[in-house]
Structure 1
Amino acid sequence: MKLPFELPLETDRLILRLAREDDVAALMEYSADPEVCRYLPYEPRDEDEIRKSMVRRLGFTEFTPDGHPLFLHVELRETGEMIGEFLLFSRDVEARQGEIGYVLNPRFQGKGYAKEAAIALMDAAFKTANLHRIEAKCSAANAPSWGLMEKLGMRREAHFKEQAIFKGEWDELLIYAILQREWLELHP
């Protein structure tokens, strides 16, 4: 499947777009931060690892259900500064299932940017790409992440206690989801 909708996605304050080579410095600012990586499936990254990640992102050509997510970098419309990233995974083409993920630079948290970007992405996924269901996952300890999911109108569907060893400790996984018809009721 090619891109599921036209890019960039734009909101009043943000632009969600594909990665660019000049995003490396912005990615370094938060991807090297241990606190940011606390709940992510990787450790803080150095510049070489960021550049390797960028090669994969810049080589993106399709949105497929085999693990190749759509990486969207979020930039401030006013300044052009890249402040974070959102991912959309295709989990099952026939059942029209998707999953979102997100990371925001801590300097820009608490300003409503994550919710604004998520609404833009989920609107496009449901209204243009015609997904039936979108889910999101996070550690139960990551209250800001599941708090965003709840602000988006997603429902908690699962809470797996001590389901895996994550970074040396037992982790609890939360799964949230929302159906297309539920989203459209909230965002006609």
Structure 2
Amino acid sequence: MLKPSYPIATPRLLLRPFTMDDLDDLYSFHSLPDVARYLYWDARTRDETGEALATKIGQAELREGGDVLAVAVELRETGALIGDLSLFWRSAEHRQGEIGFVFHPACHGRGLATEASREILRLGFDGLGLHRLYGRCDARNTPSARLMERLGMRREAHLVENEMFKGEWSDELVYGMLQREWNS
């Protein structure tokens, strides 16, 4: 079980649970086609963003394998919501988890996603005691692949045309890290 002690402060960010007050900020980037390009959902309407936000609000802790932890990323300087992090507890038996991240494009290139995502790795390894964390992305999504590399994750697989994604065959990259690699 993992119920983080919020807020989690980094030098420039606060990580916290989502609230309904996040709707405008979340919509500001969930509604962008470029943001949704490599995600399993299309650019969202305000109503769709509200539905996604309601789900995220209910994902504030991990109780058992299969649960998802949704974490809001707030810029300390302005209080604006700039990111949306996920920690999926994929298997309790095998102590496996998956990370996910979506950030406002206005915040790209400043190391904020790396700063926030390190905390998700910490929650998975140190908080939940996972053995392995992995992340996946479309092979064309170079910024996500680079982020996982900056986090110290190793590229474990390049799956060629492994799924039909938004009407076309797509390659997928899988990155992973073991707990002992995190602690070294």
Cα distance in 1, alignment partners of residues 30 and 127 from structure 2: 31
Identify which range, 99-108 or 77-86, moves more after superposition.
Answer: 77-86
Q: Which aligned pairs between 1:29-44 and structure 2 lie closer than 5 A?
A: 29-44=28-43
Cα distance in 2, alignment partners of residues 129 and 55 from structure 1: 24
TM-score, normalised on structure 2?
0.95
Segments of structure 1 that go 5 or more residues without pairing to the other structure are none
Alpha-carbon displacement from aligned partner over 1:86-141 (angstroms, at most 9, x marks no partner):
10000111221110000000001110000000112212321222111100000000
Identify which range, 72-81 or 53-62, moves more after superposition.
Answer: 53-62
Q: Which aligned pairs between 1:165-176 and structure 2 lie closer than 5 A?
A: 165-176=164-175
Kindly provide the amino acid, as one letter, of the partner of residue 177 in structure 2: I
Kindly provide the amino acid, as one letter, of the partner of residue 171 in structure 1: S
* Aligned-residue identity in percent: 44
Counterpart position of 1:19: 18
Shift of 1:16: 0.8
Cα distance in 2, alignment partners of residues 49 and 179 from structure 1: 35
State the superposition RMSD in angstroms: 1.2
Secondary structure, in 3 states, of the residue corresponding to 1:110?
coil
Shift of 1:8: 2.1
TM-score, normalised on structure 1?
0.93
Secondary structure, in 3 states, of the residue corresponding to 2:137?
strand
Counterpart position of 1:179: 178
For the 8 Å contact 2:2–2:127, the answer to whether it is kept is no
For the 8 Å contact 1:19–1:57, the answer to whether it is kept is yes
Counterpart position of 2:53: 54
Secondary structure, in 3 states, of the residue corresponding to 1:80?
coil
Superposition misfits of 4+ residues, deviation over 3 angstroms: none
Kindly provide the amino acid, as one letter, of the partner of residue 21 in structure 2: D
Kindly provide the amino acid, as one letter, of the partner of residue 181 in structure 2: E
Segments of structure 2 that go 5 or more residues without pairing to the other structure are none
For the 8 Å contact 1:76–1:83, the answer to whether it is kept is yes
Secondary structure, in 3 states, of the residue corresponding to 1:130?
coil
- Work out the number of aligned pairs and report it: 183
For the 8 Å contact 2:68–2:88, the answer to whether it is kept is yes
